[in-house]
Structure 1
């Protein structure tokens, strides 16, 4: 028996179909001479420090650095049953086919199961990035020896172990040092997490430090044969300009405007070219998260959860964690069925899906650009749209619209470039006139969509009738003073986009090139950190830890996030480490070094950083927010609901029950209770305060001398009931 081990159940089903079918059993398919089983992502996880030694369950600076070489793994709790099925099938098999995704994580995912099962059977490698049956059959006919891919698996394992050891040691070291200084909470450090915090902190500070200055635009209003249009002055050598090539001298700009105003004008050149614009590519996860944030205000983790539901519960979309925007050429044959499914599922898209032409083959259908997965598109499954949640409806509509657009004509327009001269000064303008709306008809009023935006200086006037050599006039010219602006604060959409191109912020040229090289061949990634399936979780962690907060539509760093950032070494808060690891992982893939060497060298670096923290501590400033009731520090506490917090008194165990709401990482004080001049405490003589009870509409009276005096009284018609006082009965 030959055993196929697929990365996911839907891939297993595609393999079964490619083999000619089979019968479903408990955790596998029986295809006669072959069995096909599946994983649910990573079936194993690295042991935690306390699994090696129970004393590591308690954080202690003296125990650091923690290192376990060689490392060990254990079955994930929620996957033990399926793992047992796989290992039992391996005992019956004569050979194995590794059918993990065709990337390093996919390679590791099945390899580690084979290692865990101590499998010594011959193993072939099946590479499938598209579940289309014709692609699967071709892949089945061209399997390779799994040993060819050992380097990929080793590199992924080294990265996983490195991330765990780096995160555990650095987080514990910084947290414990901060706790010594009086800080409450956890300072979480990660190879990807901390550079993301760094991006936001540096952007915030750049924004705040911006000193405005001015530059000048000169715009002329021209008239040629009764056709009036504006045009922008073109900079020439000798003009005083700023670092961005804009006019920087007001008198010079005004002089140009004065000279051109009222002068005769000559049309130097007028060229019109027919242009067409392709529709936006289908979504990958990051682009989907970006658009969902821009349009609906969804956080990236919410978008990923919605796509998971659309895929697993409703079967309406393909694999949802893809980093690719392209489709295989074989998928073009499914167009009619997918379009019909969209028309039936989403009433708003019914007409446009029916008008789509399945014969059109957009640039999205390019097998050479499909990575481990293809773009996220609708499946041939249908559903009652009213049974989907509001979020599911919105995300499905985005995915479906992008797919439908592939089968509408290209957007066609005439682009006219005009160059005019007045008083020896030249002015230019470009106009775009739509000749066929095409796919853009589906994206009406989609404000902020970068796929639709042109140059801000383009105009919509039809200038195609103008000809070179025509004479005219400059009827007006104005020199406008413009204020320089800093780069805007991050929004969730712009932060997600920047994570795909953080190489631009790396100061070292060599490391920058390494980061860009890491993403060579990946569409939409240009030297990024993190992966589409992990970035949202990492960002959520930064919010949970109180390092980031939302301010309107912007993402900003909190005082805690900034203080933490300032304590970290540069290698931790810039994306440099990812670049360095990429270089070493290439050496692991090629066999020049092994994973143990990589981890050993990493532990030397971690050991140095931990020793520095032990010796010098960290320079974090601890700002206490005192409890208004008892004076002890308040603590920010996470609620059970996602990304919700409140503030509570650290004197809770001593009897102080003060709590208040959180806003942008700061406590929102409760209105202070007024101390009565009439009603006095019978125990100490201080004034009493009337406070709301736990049940709506109820009240109680407490001594203003709390916590020294803990006397309380029930409320009767707005007055304390002195006949039923209690000692220590606050917050009744």
Structure 2
């Protein structure tokens, strides 16, 4: 009998097939003597939509809300039905004895496989492959340690509860808002409080009032120390600061204390996904989605990092035996790795090994597979370097310094100088700059040399993706696997937008936050739900109780929207009128730029809101021309010299015949050269035949 192995993506299935000897390649699966390897394409099934459950729910109207079905079934997604049929056919084969779930080892991966096996009514034994890297060694070890899928039932219940909770809250609240205010207003249990975090930061910035104050600094051999004072706003004007300087200048300073302190700082723990996304955003401006895509490629395609969608920074103790091989893999990238190997690959950050703090997956670290750097893109190389460098730090000595704190007194006023000397650069080697040191002794006199500085408080910085991810992590909004997707959805639904490297809430988003219940805006409720979902996955909380709570929340949220007296203004509606029906035009963002569409649902008029730069070249200056839609139709216009040209003009002049068209024309010509029967001859032939 053979095993039916279900991977999440074709690329993973292909890699598993190589390791397991499934060399026969078919359109939708691989086959070997002992295994048949097939794949999903992400989710092949989803929860049924309201219209699938109740005909009355097919129409969006307030009267049918809230929608609280007793049971929500699953249905195939239209674009991937072919692959689902293949899996169903393979599952029914008599030579298939059991199935192995080899989808991503996490909550969503479990849901992908369970729904498929449920839909195809697979009634044979099912096992689970649980691995954190895609190397040949890891795959072989994983298949030797397969566990019954039943041991992961709680993880499935958690994933199913998450999907149903999003269905209940998301669909009901979004429908209620959209129908009530006649605009596409999307709300959800995670995305709305995430949007609120950005809005709250904007409010802090808008409410910020700068305060000016003055400081008095003592200068000694190029070093500066600020006057110690409980209230930094004590000197509110320059006159007050000058009075202090005048008083102090009449005295001689004296060193009253010199304190020494040895400090040791261990290297940071390896990355989890969220911290990697934050630092990649700060260092390279990458979006959370881009970083996830890059590290997913390093995991799936290149197989040089462990499972990326992790929320742990710790390693399980069984990984101690693999440290030397992982170090060996990064020696060409991290020169210090060779020294760590010579020292026996001893991990100095001992606390990194902690089984209790490893959840579904351990921290993000390199695998034992040596990278082929010529195969990596620049962006992939950057992310891999970050992961490898952080991992190498586990073997380095701590960063050790000797800190000196010097107190200088001028009468009752004190100034504190600090300086530090690096004793051991350790894991910071190559990144530490030494500063000039000064000898201080107790009783030493100090000349009165002061400088007045005008200072002003600065507003808090607007959130970028890195700082938003930190807030999402702090309040338990989403998981490492979903946070990037949530940010992208907020941008796509025009509730939030990117301005440079920063994020801001759109006018539409600001209104949404006022229209929904404060409970949905606050992160507290959502964080509580995420804790409950985690508890369900651990078998510590009942999924039915969770969904009952969600239903009660849904009823309350919809009720408040129905009874709300809040006003809403659609800021995307312009003052421009439709030339067809006279209704106002609405601005809509699309992949090809902004469009103006008619607000009348029965009218199909639309046009570009702004001219689009094309690859079409101006015949005069040869620069790229704009594609303009106006009263005279669509035409190209050069913004540099005003030249205009109809789209068909150039095509008629320069259009070349394709090989297919040339072949078809030659065939027609050849046929035309053959003697053709004239209409008269045809009529005569027919008449003769009738006699």
Matched ranges for 1:599-678 at <5 A: 599-616=547-564, 618-623=566-571, 624-627=573-576, 633-640=584-591, 645-650=593-598, 657-660=607-610
Q: What is aligned with 1:158?
A: 161
Deviation, structure 1 residue 637: 2.9
Q: Distance in 1 between matches of 2:190 and 2:308?
A: 22
Q: Say if 2:132 and 2:361, in contact at 8 Å, map to a contact too.
A: yes
Deviation, structure 1 residue 74: 3.6
Stretches of structure 2 that go unaligned for 5 or more consecutive residues are: 613-624, 650-691
Matched position secondary structure for 1:420? strand
Deviation, structure 1 residue 46: 2.0
Q: Distance in 2 between matches of 1:695 and 1:376?
A: 52
Matched position secondary structure for 1:266? strand
User: What whole-Å deviation, never above 9, does each CA across 1:266-315 have from its counterpart, x for those lacking one?
Assistant: 32332333333333433322222222222222221122222222322333
Q: What is aligned with 1:693?
A: 635
Deviation, structure 1 residue 195: 0.8
Q: Distance in 1 between matches of 2:567 and 2:599?
A: 26
Q: Distance in 2 between matches of 1:233 and 1:472?
A: 17
Moved more, 581-590 or 401-410: 581-590
Q: Say if 1:649 and 1:659, in contact at 8 Å, map to a contact too.
A: no
User: For residues 480 and 582 of structure 1, do their structure 2 counterparts lie closer, same or farther at Cα, with a shift above 3 Å needed?
Assistant: same
Q: 1:234 aligns with which of 224, 228, 242?
A: 228
Q: What is aligned with 1:315?
A: 303
Q: What is aligned with 2:445?
A: 472
Q: Is 2:589 the counterpart of 1:595? A: no
Q: What is aligned with 1:677?
A: none
Moved more, 588-597 or 402-411: 588-597
Deviation, structure 1 residue 499: 1.5
Matched position secondary structure for 1:319? coil
Matched ranges for 1:497-646 at <5 A: 497-502=470-475, 528-582=476-530, 585=533, 594-616=542-564, 618-623=566-571, 624-627=573-576, 633-640=584-591, 645-646=593-594
Q: Is 2:212 the counterpart of 1:214? A: yes
User: What whole-Å deviation, never above 9, does each CA across 1:294-343 have from its counterpart, x for those lacking one?
Assistant: 22222211222222223223333322222223334444544554445445
Matched position secondary structure for 1:429? strand
Q: 1:171 aligns with which of 152, 174, 183?
A: 174
Q: Distance in 2 between matches of 1:531 and 1:417?
A: 43
Deviation, structure 1 residue 610: 2.3
Q: What is aligned with 2:47?
A: 46
Matched ranges for 1:265-304 at <5 A: 265-304=253-292
Q: Say if 2:515 and 2:561, in contact at 8 Å, map to a contact too.
A: no
User: For residues 443 and 635 of structure 1, do their structure 2 counterparts lie closer, same or farther at Cα, with a shift above 3 Å needed?
Assistant: farther
Q: Output the TM-score relative to the length of structure 1.
A: 0.70
Q: Distance in 2 between matches of 1:367 and 1:16?
A: 33
Stretches of structure 1 that go unaligned for 5 or more consecutive residues are: 446-458, 503-527, 663-669, 674-687, 702-713, 715-732
Q: 1:366 aligns with which of 353, 360, 364?
A: 353
User: For residues 601 and 294 of structure 1, do their structure 2 counterparts lie closer, same or farther at Cα, with a shift above 3 Å needed?
Assistant: closer
Deviation, structure 1 residue 441: 3.9
Matched position secondary structure for 1:377? coil
Q: Distance in 1 between matches of 2:151 and 2:300?
A: 33
Q: Is 2:459 the counterpart of 1:486? A: yes
Matched position secondary structure for 1:490? coil
Matched position secondary structure for 2:607? coil
Matched ranges for 1:27-426 at <5 A: 44-53=45-54, 56-74=57-75, 77=80, 80=84, 83-84=87-88, 87-88=91-92, 93=97, 151=154, 153-179=156-182, 183=183, 186-222=184-220, 229-235=223-229, 239=230, 241=231, 247=234, 256-261=244-249, 263-343=251-331, 349=333, 351=335, 354=338, 357=341, 359-363=345-349, 365-368=352-355, 369-382=357-370, 384-426=372-414
User: For residues 343 and 88 of structure 1, do their structure 2 counterparts lie closer, same or farther at Cα, with a shift above 3 Å needed?
Assistant: farther
User: What whole-Å deviation, never above 9, does each CA across 1:433-462 have from its counterpart, x for those lacking one?
Assistant: 2234333345589xxxxxxxxxxxxx9442
Matched position secondary structure for 2:636? coil
Once superposed, what is the RMSD of the aligned Cα atoms? 4.9
Deviation, structure 1 residue 534: 1.0
User: For residues 362 and 637 of structure 1, do their structure 2 counterparts lie closer, same or farther at Cα, with a shift above 3 Å needed?
Assistant: farther
Deviation, structure 1 residue 529: 0.8
Q: Distance in 2 between matches of 1:277 and 1:693?
A: 65
Deviation, structure 1 residue 199: 0.9
User: For residues 142 and 403 of structure 1, do their structure 2 counterparts lie closer, same or farther at Cα, with a shift above 3 Å needed?
Assistant: closer
Matched position secondary structure for 1:627? strand
Q: Say if 2:201 and 2:462, in contact at 8 Å, map to a contact too.
A: yes
Matched position secondary structure for 2:196? helix
Structure label with greater radius of gyration: 2
Q: Say if 1:405 and 1:442, in contact at 8 Å, map to a contact too.
A: no
Query: How many residues are treated as equivalent by the alignment?
Result: 617
Q: Say if 2:133 and 2:305, in contact at 8 Å, map to a contact too.
A: no
Q: Say if 1:215 and 1:248, in contact at 8 Å, map to a contact too.
A: yes
Q: Distance in 2 between matches of 1:444 and 1:433?
A: 11
Q: Output the TM-score relative to the length of structure 2.
A: 0.73
User: For residues 248 and 259 of structure 1, do their structure 2 counterparts lie closer, same or farther at Cα, with a shift above 3 Å needed?
Assistant: closer
User: For residues 149 and 692 of structure 1, do their structure 2 counterparts lie closer, same or farther at Cα, with a shift above 3 Å needed?
Assistant: closer
User: For residues 462 and 127 of structure 1, do their structure 2 counterparts lie closer, same or farther at Cα, with a shift above 3 Å needed?
Assistant: same
User: For residues 606 and 654 of structure 1, do their structure 2 counterparts lie closer, same or farther at Cα, with a shift above 3 Å needed?
Assistant: closer
Matched position secondary structure for 1:402? helix
User: For residues 102 and 259 of structure 1, do their structure 2 counterparts lie closer, same or farther at Cα, with a shift above 3 Å needed?
Assistant: farther
User: For residues 86 and 421 of structure 1, do their structure 2 counterparts lie closer, same or farther at Cα, with a shift above 3 Å needed?
Assistant: farther
User: For residues 168 and 654 of structure 1, do their structure 2 counterparts lie closer, same or farther at Cα, with a shift above 3 Å needed?
Assistant: closer
Q: What is aligned with 1:440?
A: 428
Q: Distance in 2 between matches of 1:700 and 1:262?
A: 82
